[in-house]
Structure 1
């Protein structure tokens, strides 16, 4: 008795429309199930190059969150904790050259400061240069031409204060400062025709807060 060949079975199926339709529907159903399984697996473990659409639990902090945290911390902070937080914040904002200037001022020394302004017109004053000082070179800063900026930042941070013109003992210091290249450039820029630039003499010294910070950190 001869065996039944595959070709004969295929011919029989093809000649039986009902069986062919059933097999076709089963194949379609199988493909649908496979697609559904793949989609489900992709949702559970998405590919690395396709980040999930669902947002992570850790969202960026908002200004409200930061303020609330600061207020909560302030309720339980001791004076020493608050003082240390202030000192650390001030120190973190200092540039290395500014730290050298603070060190130069820490012994209570006073240094000359010069502002250069345009000739006075009415009640207005237009400053061309502010807080030029010899304290930068005295402190040995790396960028002495940026001393006006360093002094301004220290004053703004409350670590140094600007005072009135120094006495006769500072005469030579002011004269030396007037030979500075940045000061001479500002004088030339501020000049208006025959009217010379205004030279405003003042002084800089360490503030009470600056002294506290120095004593706490040295």
Structure 2
């Protein structure tokens, strides 16, 4: 007779009672199990290979973690219930293939639920252990000594492509094909400016208009992101040709900044691709046929130590 709680709700049986019931029902279905065994042995090899390593990892954790041990016991009992139901289903005349499909869905849900467990409040993946940083470093050195290694492009290029906006790709192509671009800062001038000059408008360029970006007002943010990714650098030096600066200094935003104070002066600077950025553009943004015949302008090399006074476009 089943025990009841004070509110009349039947209590759940103990783990020993549940296991005994499972084995009893499984024993009653032995003819069905015999029929299932041969069929299942031919169709569960792949599933077993995928889950055996995961299961043994759980067993290893169960030795030292009581919570994992209890979870493993519950999952084992549930799995036995599925096996018993499968055998009874086959014994009652259900086609073996249909019964196995139903059981595999139940077992699959059980495996997925146990693939991520919590221990001490943290999520622990039950997948294969990851290589340590030192092991990854040794693998990298091994590849560097492999004369047959045909890897092309820096491994960071794939990640960088996911962190670029379409407009930023246009800016990179402008820098690659058009060369370094002029940039100007508008600062206070006059007699006071010779002693203490204040920045009024930094990093004014025509890069947005020349590259044909869709969102011209986002160009300063685009340049900051390209700088963050190590693709461009901002030089304090002006370009040798003064003509591009005359066009920039005639733009409305530059004129407005100059007219905002009584005395103003323009400081000429330039924006270049880094060597890393040049290689990225040639590897990822230029077709091989074009790369074979094109001659690209040269860019300046950034200083070894960045000058903190170098302003980024604002």
Please indicate, yes or no, whether the TM-score normalized by the shorter chain is above 0.5. Answer: yes
Instruction: In structure 2, list runs of 5 or more residues that go unmatched.
Output: 19-70, 76-116, 145-149, 287-314
Verify the 8 A CA contact 1:108 1:206 in the aligned structure 2. Answer: no
Q: Which residue of structure 2 aligns with residue 177 of structure 1?
A: 248
Verify the 8 A CA contact 1:104 1:138 in the aligned structure 2. Answer: yes
Q: TM-score, normalised by structure 1?
A: 0.59
Q: Which has the larger radius of gyration?
A: 1
Q: 1:154 is matched with which residue: 185, 204, 226?
A: 226
Q: TM-score, normalised by structure 2?
A: 0.43
Verify the 8 A CA contact 1:155 1:161 in the aligned structure 2. Answer: yes
- Rounded to whole Å, the distance in 1 between the matches of 2:271 and 2:215 is 19
Listed one character per residue, the Cα deviations across residues 153-207 of structure 1 (whole Å, up to 9, x for unaligned) are 323432123331123x433x32322233433444455x3xx3x233211122222
Instruction: In structure 1, list runs of 5 or more residues that go unmatched.
Output: 1-25, 46-54
Off by >6 Å, runs of 4+ in structure 1: 38-41
Aligned residues between the structures: 171
Aligned CA RMSD, in angstroms, stands at 4.0
- Rounded to whole Å, the distance in 2 between the matches of 1:60 and 1:183 is 56
Q: Which residue of structure 1 aligns with residue 118 of structure 2?
A: 56
For residues 68-217 of structure 1, the aligned pairs below 5 Å read 72-77=135-140, 78-79=143-144, 84-107=154-177, 109-119=179-189, 120=193, 122=195, 126-163=198-235, 164-167=237-240, 169-171=241-243, 173-188=244-259, 191=261, 194=262, 196-217=263-284
Query: 1:209: Cα distance to partner?
Result: 0.9
Query: 1:81: Cα distance to partner?
Result: 6.3
SS at match of 1:166: coil
Verify the 8 A CA contact 2:183 2:269 in the aligned structure 1. Answer: yes
Q: Whose RCO is larger (CA < 8 A, sep 6+)?
A: 1
